[in-house]
């Protein structure tokens, strides 16, 4: 589950879910499509910055782990790709390990790491209540299912612990040095005990829902989210930056070729403008978070 | 008082209400069929990781018809609750096996749901269980792929029950072993490779045969362990759980699809 950090630090998470969902959809799409190294490095750095602005110091471990992943993907990918003309060395049975494949691997790794970072921020912002709120109108039945599942899972987990403890108490649990088969069998017993109770509970829950008027027309539901003026402003800024970035990058030449030799087109003014707008777009959540934190600090000192 | 003993009318949507739902479902299926080749063509044109992008879009097109058809049926509270409980059981099953390392029994519960309630509910339980477990363990580029993979496992189990390969409850020993074998095959042959394909796609800015071979071969032992866990779970809990679901069918008239 999402662990939202201290008050004020995550101002971006307090925006309307439609805005934050649109932001992440746009970011992930562009992240996958833009393959120019300049843009990829930009996206990775800003993604890390954004995640750090959400999590603070706790974020660095994850970012470090992703740097390792990036290095592994880059170093390993030439093993599976022998194209390219600059041979660095030859390994197993004279297979070439080429600079071009290494560069492409680095590009793939950067893209993957940036995507993971954006997904990590997404996970913090798009909590289950925000997600189900967004899809409640289009998919009312399914979002009810999702809400119920997310509520039942912790309950069932606690119940499993209780069942296992009770079985251990009457000497039926797996002993210390029990074999794998015995452990699996014991867990199966716990699981079927849980399911018997859970399925009966499903009927009770459903009847209770119906008794309280589930599915009747004209019912409204409570939601924490309201569309405010700042949501319109952020959405407009987002759309403007995104359009500018896409137009500039489509006009400019960003097609990088890796094989047989690396060809990076010269960075023209249009690509620079595109990269600037893209960067500003990616910086939005970080800026909003920092602004929120600043406002929080100021409010504290004036009290 | 029959109204009280049987509860509110939960026998499914009446005919005229079902029509627009069906039309919508057909529209989404047609849309998916039209959009898929377009997306493949687009993926070839786009720079960067077009493979992952178009692959994921196609996965989403495959999910939409199931969701729209579920909504089109106007699911009643009892159906929603049973789907939710089955999906939650699938997600939480792992916690019961906490003492067995790397044991993933989720697909077994999904298959049992499919066997008892048919392909559509099987798919729903699978995909919502995958989505919900990602809300708990972390979303990633794999989320839609997991939803499709586990949904398909439930769907296939439901189709097997519809084809009367497996009965809906009271499996004999040979049938239970056959079911466990089916579970293993479904994981190693369908769900596992589908998840490996997503790994392959997000590693493949320039896919090569060697990379594909490496990804699928590296996935094989993981999938085999996963499949074995599913098979063991099916052997153990298929009969008790199917009996419990059968009880729901007999006592409450739920999950009762006229064949």
Query: Which residues have CB under 8 Å from B62's CB, separation 6+?
Result: B32, B148
pLDDT (average), residues A163-177? 83
pLDDT digits (tens, 9 = 90+) for B184-220: 999 999 999 999 998 888 887 777 888 888 889 999 9
Rg (CA), chain B: 19
Distances (CA, A) of B152 to A284, A302, B52, B63, B160: 38, 58, 20, 10, 12
Q: How many CB pairs under 8 A join A and B?
A: 215
C-alpha–C-alpha distance, residues B235 and A236, integer Å: 56
Residue B29: pLDDT band by 50, 70, 90 thresholds?
confident
C-alpha distance from B190 to closest chain A C-alpha (Å):
24
Higher pLDDT, residue B142 or B45: B142
Show the tokens assigned to A171. 């000497």
Q: What is the pTM of this model?
A: 0.88
Mean pLDDT score across all residues of chain B = 85
Residue A198: pLDDT band by 50, 70, 90 thresholds?
very high
**Whether the predicted pLDDT of B33 surpasses 90:** no
Distances (CA, A) of A199 to A148, A156, A179, B246: 13, 12, 30, 11
pLDDT at position A218? 81
Tell me the chain A residues in contact with residue B80 when contact means C-beta distances shorter than 8 Å. 141, 144-145, 148, 206
C-alpha–C-alpha distance, residues A196 and B251, integer Å: 14
Nearest to A160 among B92, B100, B245 (CB): B92
- Burial class for A38, CB neighbours closer than 10 Å (0-12, 13-18, 19+): middle
A136 touches chain B (CB under 8 A): no
Determine if residue B206 is left, alpha or beta; phi over 0 gives left, psi from -120 to 50 gives alpha, anything else beta.
beta
Pair A231, A19: CB distance under 8 Å: yes
A202 touches chain B (CB under 8 A): yes
* Portion 234-253 of A in contact with B at CB < 8 A: none
- Which of A72, A199, A204, A214 should be substituted to probe chain B, the one whose Cβ sees the most B Cβ atoms within 10 Å? A199
C-alpha distance from B174 to closest chain A C-alpha (Å):
19
C-alpha–C-alpha distance, residues A75 and B76, integer Å: 54
Please give the share of chain B, as a percent, with pLDDT higher than 70.
90
pLDDT at position A303? 56
Q: Tell which residue, A166, A212, A216, A155, has the closest CA to residue A189.
A: A166
Q: Tell which residue, A28, A222, A223, A226, has the closest CA to residue A123.
A: A28
Instruction: Please check whether the domain covering B76-259 is classified as CATH 1.10.1760.20.
Output: yes
C-alpha–C-alpha distance, residues B30 and B34, integer Å: 6
Tell me the chain A residues in contact with residue B72 when contact means C-beta distances shorter than 8 Å. none
pLDDT (average), residues A127-137? 87
Determine if residue A219 is left, alpha or beta; phi over 0 gives left, psi from -120 to 50 gives alpha, anything else beta.
beta
**Whether the predicted pLDDT of A43 surpasses 80:** yes
C-alpha–C-alpha distance, residues A201 and A190, integer Å: 17
Tell me the chain B residues in contact with residue A190 when contact means C-beta distances shorter than 8 Å. 96
**Whether the predicted pLDDT of B119 surpasses 80:** yes
Determine, for residues A142 and B233 on separate chains, whether the beta-carbon distance falls below 8 Å: no
Nearest to A145 among B76, B87, B254 (CB): B87
Residue B11: pLDDT band by 50, 70, 90 thresholds?
very low
pLDDT at position B66? 92
pLDDT digits (tens, 9 = 90+) for B75-105: 889 999 999 999 999 999 988 888 888 899 9
pLDDT at position B155? 95
Q: Tell which residue, A74, A93, A24, has the closest CA to residue A282.
A: A24
Tell me the chain B residues in contact with residue A260 when contact means C-beta distances shorter than 8 Å. none
Which residues make up the CATH 1.10.1760.20 domain(s) of chain B? 76-259
Show the tokens assigned to B6. 């049987």
pLDDT digits (tens, 9 = 90+) for A280-302: 999 999 999 998 888 888 887 66
The interface predicted TM-score (ipTM) is: 0.87
Determine, for residues B237 and A195 on separate chains, whether the beta-carbon distance falls below 8 Å: yes
Tell me the chain A residues in contact with residue B203 when contact means C-beta distances shorter than 8 Å. 73, 77, 108, 112
Name the phi and psi angles at A90, rounded to 5: -115, 140
pLDDT at position A4? 53
What residue of A is the nearest CA neighbor of B97?
A187
């Amino acid at each position: 589950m999402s662990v939202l950090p201290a008050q004020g630090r995550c101002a971006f998470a307090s925006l309307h879910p439609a805005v934050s969902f649109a932001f992440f959809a746009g970011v992930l799409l562009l992240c996958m499509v833009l393959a120019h190294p300049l843009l990829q490095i930009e996206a990775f750095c800003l993604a890390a910055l954004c995640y750090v602005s959400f999590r603070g110091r706790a974020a660095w471990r994850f970012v470090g782990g992703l740097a390792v992943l990036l290095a592994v993907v880059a170093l390993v990918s030439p093993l599976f790709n022998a194209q390219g003309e600059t041979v660095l060395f030859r390994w197993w049975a004279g297979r070439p390990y080429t600079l071009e494949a290494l560069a492409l691997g680095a590009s793939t790794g950067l893209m993957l790491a940036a995507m993971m970072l954006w997904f990590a921020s997404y996970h913090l912002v798009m909590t289950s209540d925000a997600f189900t709120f967004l899809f409640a109108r289009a998919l009312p039945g399914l979002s009810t299912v999702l809400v119920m599942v997310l509520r039942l899972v912790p309950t069932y987990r606690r119940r499993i612990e209780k069942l296992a403890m009770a079985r251990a108490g009457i000497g039926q649990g797996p002993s210390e040095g029990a074999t794998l088969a015995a452990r699996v069998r014991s867990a199966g017993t716990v699981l079927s005990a849980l399911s018997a109770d859970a399925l009966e509970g499903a009927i009770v829950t459903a009847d209770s829902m119906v008794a309280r008027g589930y599915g009747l027309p004209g019912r409204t539901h409570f939601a924490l989210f309201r569309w405010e003026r700042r949501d319109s402003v952020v959405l407009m800024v987002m759309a403007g930056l995104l359009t500018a970035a896409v137009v500039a990058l489509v006009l400019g030449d960003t097609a990088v070729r890796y094989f047989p030799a690396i060809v990076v087109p010269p960075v023209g003014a249009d690509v620079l403008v595109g990269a600037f707008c893209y960067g500003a777009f990616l910086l939005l959540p970080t800026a909003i978070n920092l602004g929120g934190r600043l406002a929080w600090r100021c409010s504290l000192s004036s009290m | 008082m029959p109204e009280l003993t049987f509860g509110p009318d939960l026998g499914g949507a009446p005919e005229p209400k079902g029509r627009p739902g069906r039309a919508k479902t057909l529209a989404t299926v047609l849309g998916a069929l039209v959009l898929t080749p377009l997306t493949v063509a687009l993926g070839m044109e786009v720079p960067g990781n077009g493979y992952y992008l178009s692959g994921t879009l196609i996965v989403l097109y495959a999910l939409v018809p199931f969701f729209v058809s579920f909504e089109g049926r106007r699911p009643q509270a009892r159906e929603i609750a049973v789907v939710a409980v089955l999906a939650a059981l699938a997600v939480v099953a792992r916690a019961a096996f906490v003492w067995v390392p790397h044991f993933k029994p989720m697909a077994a519960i999904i298959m049992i749901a499919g066997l008892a309630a048919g392909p559509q509910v099987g798919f729903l339980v699978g995909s919502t269980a995958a989505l919900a477990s990602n809300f708990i363990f972390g979303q990633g580029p794999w989320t839609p792929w997991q939803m499709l993979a586990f949904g398909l496992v439930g769907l296939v189990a439901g189709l097997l029950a519809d084809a009367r390969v497996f009965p809906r409850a009271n499996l004999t020993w040979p049938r239970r072993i056959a079911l466990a074998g089916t579970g293993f095959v479904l994981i190693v042959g369908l769900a596992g490779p589908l998840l490996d394909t997503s790994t392959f796609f997000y590693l493949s800015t320039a896919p090569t045969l060697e990379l594909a071979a490496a990804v699928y071969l590296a996935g094989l032992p993981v999938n085999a362990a996963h499949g074995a866990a599913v098979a063991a779970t099916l052997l153990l809990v298929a009969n008790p759980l199917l009996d419990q679901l059968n009880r729901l069918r007999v006592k409450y008239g739920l999950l009762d699809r006229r064949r």
